[in-house]
Structure 1
Amino acid sequence: MTKTLRVGIIGAGGIARGAHLPNYLKCGDKVEVVALCDVIKEKADQLAEEYNIPYVFSSYEEMLQKIEIDAVSVCTPNKVHYPATMAALEAGCHVLCEKPPAMTAKEAAEMAAAAENAGKILTYGFHFRHAPQVEVLKRFIDAGELGEIYAARVTAMRRRGIPGWGVFTNKELQGGGPLIDIGVHMLDTALYLMGYPEPDTVFGVTYQKLGTKKGVGLMGSWDWENFSVEDMARGMITFKNGASILLESAFAANVEKADEMNVNLMGDKGGADVFPLKIYQEKHDTLVDMTPTLLPKRDYHELELKRFVEACLDGNVPLSTSRQGVYLQQIINGLYESARKGEAVKLSKNVLV
């Protein structure tokens, strides 16, 4: 591979404009963004002109066929993650795919297998892993400060935070609502800090109580008449090592805080809240709380893109792996299945291919 990574971006929406493109540019001469595609070509043309991208297409198939590219960012609605990623891997590209991995666990497993067979990197846009709070806590965990982490709580709650743009409320294109959009971030953070244990059984419930009604929107007005996803999801996940996670995620709920994203961990030697970081232990016959005095300020997306580029150029293992993505997708789909059935769901042992 050359020392300059030639990158193509699939999807010209908000995440491409706000996170991927500006942070690729911060990588300097290590990266050249050479192509951009979107089904709405006018949107791609506008973004390409703004960022001086030489080639613009209306389909990723054409882009991958006509332009020599080393790596691809997949910045599309969730439904397109699988076909776009598979096409990019087949074309010999490394892939950074935005979260969630896919629409189904089967798709995520096929994506992981395709990446391994092609010898290419497939990683996902879980930028909270790159937060300083997570990195510091991971060092404490790896040093045994929390002991065996056997329980966790995952919170991704908004009071009235239904996105008033994009396709976030379209179940056909996204696969779900807050669980698969914001809940997946905190769930991945918890799983990462717990060592990504193998899931066993899930029980989930979903609600659609506020999204289908006209109301106050803290993130713009939404199309409440065509709201087809859940506005709240709750669940419990158990793992084969005996650990468990309680999860709560909402776009809209009658709660105090406008926005709360957090992970709480409980181990047999200590516990922790991640955002903000606080560690709880018993030492020398005393219950103690530890809070970092100073944490570095950083752009999570910037570090995520920088590390992806370095992994592609240097052959490093990315922080988020394709196999972890399979477990995560299996949990998400299991929770939705459980909510539909009204009963706990035992997750398949054979999802990894």
Structure 2
Amino acid sequence: MSKPIRIGIIGAGGIARGAHIPSYQSYGRDVEVVSVSNHNKEKAVECAEQFSIPHAYENEQQMLDEMDLDAVSICTPNKFHAAQAIAALKAGCHVLCEKPPAMTAEEAETMAWEAEKAGRILTYGFHFRFQPEVESLKKYIDGHELGEIYAAKTHYNRRRGIPGWGVFTNKELQGGGTLIDNGVHMLDTALYLMGYPKPKTVLGATYQKIGHRPGVGLMGEWDDENFSVEDMARGMITFENGSSLMFESTFAANIEELSSKKVSIVGDQGGAELFPLKIFQEKYDTLVDTTPAYVEKRDVHESLVHDFIECMLHDKQPVSTPSEGVLIQQIIQALYESAKTGEAVNI
């Protein structure tokens, strides 16, 4: 029997403990989480003890130098993604990096280049791709059931859903707010279903209207005095193939629903919506709506991590690729730039 894949975890916060580590450990004997690093050594030790991980580090570079790792998960604030991913790739590791890829498009491009140079997998934590509804709709699209996809619309809105933990409201560490936290998941899902077309023009607007003052916190009490990110982001993207996408996300807005997410796809032979999945077509001179009778329940974080493992074991292409990471980072950067200048940005 071959040796198990040796995994190191960079960052010992909620996403590492709640998703990555349990998902690796649930895979079986082919995988072993052997080390965890965190800038706060006590937190790394605590995490290691919680999950029976043999080694804990304060410095990820020391971990990479000493542990002979095959792969790492990067579960740190966005500011550190690029440097840590590049260091891991240079150490010969495959990399699963949480979303978004980086802070800038240039960083994402460098990460992609380093992965290609090293001949290692680099993939991102866009776990909504593993939702059974998304997978089903992707099969419809790949089977040409919807024809040419030329328009999409997406939103992920919360009435009062500002995270009251972590650094989600710290612009210096995260680079932004709702756009790159919850909104980016729906943005990626739409782009994935559209075939990740190359962006052409981006027009965006961001707002900070609620997070900078005290309020009702449905996801914990946030630090309103140090709230430095947007609580709403909106935009429209046009693509080189002529398609377009409208986007909206909020941490907090005066809307009816406490939380709502949706992706709408329009093709010349049919359309669809997520979540839940509905398909709209014209067949045999009849307008037909199709909904699934049953949708599988699944831990999508586990599916994401297990797919990463399968890619390493069987030399497969990951569902989320470095080139897609570059494209979505270009769009994110352009949305923020457009919001700042008030002008559309050409990519």
TM-score range for the pair, normalised by the shorter chain length: over 0.9
Shift of 1:295: 1.6
SS at match of 2:111: helix
Look up the equivalent residue of 1:304 and give its one-letter code.
L
Cα deviation, 1:214-240, whole Å, max 9, x if unaligned, reads 100100100001100000000000000
The residue that corresponds to 2:311 in the other structure is 311
Alpha-carbon distance in structure 2 between the residues aligned to 1:230 and 1:213: 13
Q: Secondary structure at the match of 2:29?
A: helix
Alpha-carbon distance in 2 for matches of 1:337, 1:285: 46
Q: Residue in 1 aligned with 2:88?
A: 88
Query: For the residues of structure 2 that align with 1:11 and 1:262, how far apart are their CA atoms?
Result: 30
Q: How does 1:104-183 map to 2 (within 5 A)?
A: 104-183=104-183
Amino acid at match of 1:140: Y
Offset at residue 262 of structure 1 (A): 1.6
Aligned partners of 2:260 and 2:8: how far apart in 1? 34
Task: Supply the distance in 2 between the matched residues of 1:204 and 1:2 (Cα, whole angstroms).
Answer: 51
SS state at 1:28 partner = coil
Cα shift at 1:2: 4.5
Quick one: distance in 2 between partners of 1:322 and 1:252?
31
Q: CA RMSD in A?
A: 0.9
Measure the CA separation in 1 of the matches of 2:220 and 2:304: 28
* Alpha-carbon distance between aligned partners in 1 of 2:217 and 2:84, rounded to the nearest angstrom: 32
In structure 1, distance between residues paired with 2:320 and 2:2: 24
* TM-score w.r.t. length of structure 1: 0.97
- Structure 1 stretches of 4+ with a deviation exceeding 6 A read none
Residue 66 of structure 1: CA displacement? 1.0
1:282 is paired with a residue of what secondary structure?
Answer: strand
What is the number of equivalent residue pairs in this alignment? 347
**What amino acid is the match of 1:286?**
T
State the partner residue of 2:291. 291
Aligned to 1:20: 20
Distance 2:308 2:123 in 1: 8
Q: Quote how far apart the aligned CAs of 1:30 are.
A: 1.3
SS in 1 for 2:147: coil
State the distance in 2 between where 1:57 and 1:139 align. 43
Native 8 Å contact 1:168 1:177 kept in 2: yes
CA distance in 2, matches of 1:98, 1:43: 19
Q: What pairs up with 1:230-245 in 2 under 5 angstroms?
A: 230-245=230-245
Aligned match of 1:326: 326
- Partner SS state of residue 43, structure 2: helix
Question: Could you list the per-position Cα deviations for residues 40-63 of structure 1 after superposition, in whole angstroms to 9, with x for gaps in the alignment?
Answer: 111111110011111110011110
What's the offset of the Cα at 1:3? 4.5
2:211 matched to which residue of 1?
211
Matched, 1:75 2:90: no
Aligned to 1:50: 50
Q: Is the 8 A contact 1:232 1:250 kept in 2?
A: yes
Contact 1:203–1:235 (CA<8 Å) still a contact in 2? Answer: yes
- What is the alpha-carbon distance in structure 2 between the residues aligned to residue 253 and residue 146 of structure 1? 33
The aligned residue for residue 350 of structure 1 is: none
Amino acid at match of 1:96: L
Equivalent pair of 1:88/1:95 in contact (CA under 8 Å): yes
For residues 286-341 of structure 1, the C-alpha deviation after alignment (integer angstroms, 9 at most, x for no partner) is 11100011121111011111110010111100000011000000000100000000
User: How is 1:244-323 mapped onto 2 (pairs within 5 angstroms)?
Assistant: 244-323=244-323
Q: Report the equivalent of 2:343.
A: 343
Cα offsets for 1:116-159 (capped at 9, x unmatched): 01000000000000000011001100111111110001111100
User: Alpha carbons of 1:3 and 1:148: their partners in 2 closer, same or farther (altered >3 Å)?
Assistant: farther
8 Å contact 1:3–1:313 — kept in the other structure? no
Q: 1:256 and 1:281 mapped to 2: Cα distance?
A: 30
